[in-house]
């Protein structure tokens, strides 16, 4: 399975999702069965590493962001990834407007994997405080736990 996280600039939410899911997948014994990547809907930060505040929050919890660089979503991603996880409703809508009809089922709202949060969107912490980065990370961890459960279920039934 190939999982893609999508946010706006690919420096806060989506690279955090990539780092969190990578560690959780490894811990669940899924590391060799899943490819994880992230990208942004806009080219604001192409080539840059994740935001320092996102890295600091994640690294405090043991997540590794090494080697990550922002990139922009490409139409080829519709063929390479399933699921494609939009971090908020705006990303979801943007992707749904661009996706070929045959690939529309690949687009998912990330927090659909964490219904217990009572939220649909992971709020963008970029202009916020350290607490905003912690909240985003809490939500991303919840969603990634749901994704790992789905991956384990798929593996068991394969």
Any idea where the domains of the chain sit in the sequence? 2-157
Helix (H, G, I), strand (E, B) or coil at 2: strand
Per-residue confidence at 155, pLDDT binned at 50, 70, 90? confident
What mean pLDDT comes out for the span 15-28?
A: 98
Are 42 and 8 in contact by the 8 Å Cβ rule? The answer is yes
Predicted confidence (pLDDT) at residue 37 exceeds the cutoff of 90: yes
Give the pLDDT confidence of 113-139 residue by residue, as tens digits: 999 999 999 999 999 999 999 999 999
**Per-residue pLDDT tens for 65-104?**
999 999 999 999 999 999 999 999 999 999 999 999 999 9
* CATH superfamily, domain at 2-157: Response regulator (3.40.50.2300)
Residue 42, pLDDT above cutoff 90? yes
15 closest CA partner among 154, 79, 46, 30 = 46
Q: What is the pLDDT of residue 115?
A: 95
Question: Residue 158 above 80 pLDDT?
Answer: no
Active site residues: 7, 13, 124
Q: What is the mean pLDDT of residues 36-62?
A: 97
Mean pLDDT of the chain: 96
- pTM of the predicted structure, to 2 decimals: 0.97
Q: Residue 154 — very low, low, confident or very high, per pLDDT cuts 50/70/90?
A: confident
Q: For residue 153, how many C-alpha atoms fall within 13 Å in the half-sphere facing its CB?
A: 6
């Amino acid at each position: 399975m190939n999982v893609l996280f999508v946010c706006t600039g690919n420096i806060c939410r989506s690279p955090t999702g990539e780092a969190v899911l990578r560690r959780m997948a490894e811990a669940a014994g899924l590391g060799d069965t899943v490819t994880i990547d992230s990208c942004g809907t806009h080219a604001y930060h192409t080539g840059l590493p994740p935001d320092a505040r996102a890295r600091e929050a994640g690294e405090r919890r043991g997540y590794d962001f090494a080697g990550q660089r922002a990139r922009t979503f490409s139409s080829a991603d519709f063929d390479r990834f399933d699921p494609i996880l939009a971090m908020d409703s705006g990303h979801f809508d943007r992707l749904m407007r661009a996706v070929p009809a045959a690939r529309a089922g690949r687009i998912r709202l990330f927090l659909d994997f964490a219904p217990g949060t009572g939220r649909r969107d992971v709020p963008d912490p970029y202009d916020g405080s350290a607490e905003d980065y912690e909240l985003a990370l809490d939500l991303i961890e919840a969603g990634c736990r749901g994704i790992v459960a789905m991956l384990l279920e798929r593996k068991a039934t394969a």
